């Protein structure tokens, strides 16, 4: 991770096809494009790889979440349960359609705690949205059972976990809807882009229309198409899709490299008794884009993370203090900072996050270090990195004692 590390001739060839045709838009201009439909080609490849009936490309992972929610009829006043550890796009997509983000605690999977989810359900809850952060998944079986019990939708945010699986199913395909991001720093990239996958025909049709101003895409005359309902512009370009056409075919190659590098580092850290690792639910397989581990205390984790940076290990993250990925720094959500007026339903219904108790989340995140796994590392590079990481951790453990 990320796929741009290994850009090569395959990506160049796909992009050159688009430039040669002169058609950068995914719809229309049938005669000019010389049979090149990169977005359609990528949608077929994604649906096939993810073992789903449908895939709809959009302009970003954020757009994918927004369109997925809208396609399922989620709107003003509906509640969407999401974790405290995610990217800000999770609550942005919910607020964009006037719905209510309901934050709940995570557990040792670093994703939604099913017990916290069940406690948060009200008569306004519409969706449970686990976010498979850093390449691994939530307890999807437990969450699916909760959704079935309460007649809720399960929407997987798999933006950081493409290539992982649960109970033999690709992540994103286990729930009613799944979303991916193909931005510049994802395992496979389009530069910018995203996708929704689903087996539900009505959700797919809604996503197809909604993401292109409500166009029904019937016939070959774009100007004559009707608009069954309101939509917006969340289209991907053919240039972005072209990059994705090359990268989707390299996904297994990338996962293999990530697994090798991940395993080398983990094998070194496993020898340290005080280091424990994020729980991967039984039946789950990570995509190996991050190695996530716990140290005994928040104080020790902070000092160790700082020491890793000073030692030149600059690919480790301490999410607990991160501005984008953990609730503690989301003042714009907590204080409802918005350029325009938010709907009254949102302002009146949104929990007061200044008073919320997320100490269970803090207990895990305060002790978590995440090591990014890069594709460009040689095996020798990884061994040196692993030895350095283990040495720094041991030194801090000894000093801390």
Q: Is the pLDDT of residue 34 over 90?
A: no
Bigger pLDDT: 121 vs 345: 121
**Per-domain residue ranges for the chain?**
3-250, 252-400
Average pLDDT over residues 300-322: 97
Average pLDDT over residues 237-258: 98
Share of the chain above pLDDT 70, in %: 100
Point out the catalytic residue in the list 144, 186, 200, 354: 186
Mean pLDDT of the chain: 97
Distance between CA 211 and CA 230 in Å, rounded? 10
Q: Is the pLDDT of residue 132 over 70?
A: yes
Retrieve residue 382's tokens.
Answer: 């990884």
Predicted confidence (pLDDT) per residue in 358-367, tens digit? 999 999 999 9
Average pLDDT over residues 41-52: 98
Q: Is the pLDDT of residue 298 over 90?
A: yes
Q: Is the pLDDT of residue 296 over 60?
A: yes
Given this model, what pLDDT does residue 395 score?
97
Given this model, what pLDDT does residue 349 score?
93
Average pLDDT over residues 85-106: 97
Q: Is the pLDDT of residue 193 over 90?
A: yes
- The pTM for the full model equals 0.97
| Class of 3-250 in CATH | alpha beta
Strand order of the β-sheet with 194-198 is 54-58, 194-198, 177-181, 153-157, 125-128, 79-83, 100-104
Domains 3-250 and 252-400 alike in fold: no
For 223, 244, 277, 386, 389, the CA distances from 370, given in Å and listed in that order, are 50, 27, 10, 13, 12
Query: What band does 270 get if pLDDT is binned at 50, 70 and 90?
Result: very high
Given this model, what pLDDT does residue 350 score?
94
Catalytic, 186? Answer yes
Predicted confidence (pLDDT) per residue in 103-119, tens digit? 999 999 999 999 999 99
Given this model, what pLDDT does residue 401 score?
57
| Class of 252-400 in CATH | alpha beta
Retrieve residue 148's tokens.
Answer: 């079935």
Given this model, what pLDDT does residue 364 score?
98
Predicted confidence (pLDDT) per residue in 50-66, tens digit? 999 999 999 999 999 99
Query: What band does 70 get if pLDDT is binned at 50, 70 and 90?
Result: very high
Distance between CA 208 and CA 196 in Å, rounded? 10
């Amino acid at each position: 991770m990320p796929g741009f590390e290994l850009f090569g001739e395959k990506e160049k060839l796909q992009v050159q096809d688009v430039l040669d045709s002169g058609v950068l838009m995914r719809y229309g201009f049938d005669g000019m494009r010389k049979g090149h439909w990169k977005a359609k080609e990528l949608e077929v490849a994604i649906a096939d790889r993810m073992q789903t009936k449908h895939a709809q490309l959009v302009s970003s992972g954020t757009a994918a979440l927004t369109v997925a929610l809208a396609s399922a009829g989620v709107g003003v006043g509906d509640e969407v349960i999401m974790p405290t550890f995610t990217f800000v796009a999770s609550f942005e997509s919910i607020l964009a359609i006037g719905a209510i983000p309901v934050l709940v605690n995570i557990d040792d999977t670093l994703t939604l705690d099913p017990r916290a989810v069940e406690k948060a359900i009200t008569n306004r809850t519409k969706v449970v949205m686990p976010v498979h952060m850093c390449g691994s998944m939530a307890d999807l079986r437990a969450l699916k059972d909760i959704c079935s019990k309460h007649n809720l939708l399960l929407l997987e945010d798999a933006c950081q976990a493409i290539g992982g699986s649960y109970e033999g199913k690709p992540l994103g395909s286990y729930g009613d809807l799944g979303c991916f991001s193909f931005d510049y720093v994802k395992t496979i990239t389009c530069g910018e882009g995203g996708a929704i996958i689903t087996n539900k025909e009505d959700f797919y049709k809604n996503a197809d229309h909604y993401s292109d101003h409500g166009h029904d895409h019937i016939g070959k005359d774009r100007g004559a198409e009707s608009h069954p309902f309101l939509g917006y512009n969340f289209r991907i370009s053919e240039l972005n899709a072209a990059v994705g056409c090359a990268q989707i075919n390299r996904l297994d190659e990338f996962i293999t490299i990530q697994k090798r590098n991940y395993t080398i580092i983990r094998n070194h850290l496993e020898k340290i008794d005080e280091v424990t690792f994020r729980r991967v639910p039984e039946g789950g397989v990570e995509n190996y884009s991050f190695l996530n581990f716990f140290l005994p205390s928040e104080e020790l984790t902070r000092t160790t993370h700082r020491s890793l940076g000073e030692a030149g290990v600059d690919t480790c993250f301490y999410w607990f203090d991160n501005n984008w990925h953990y609730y503690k720094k989301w003042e714009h959500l907590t204080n409802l900072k918005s350029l325009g007026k938010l709907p009254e339903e949102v302002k009146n219904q949104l929990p007061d996050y200044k008073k919320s108790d997320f100490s269970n989340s803090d207990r895990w995140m305060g002790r978590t270090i995440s090591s990014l796994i890069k594709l460009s590392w040689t095996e020798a590079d990884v061994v040196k990195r692993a030895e350095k990481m283990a040495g720094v951790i041991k030194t801090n453990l000894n000093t801390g004692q």
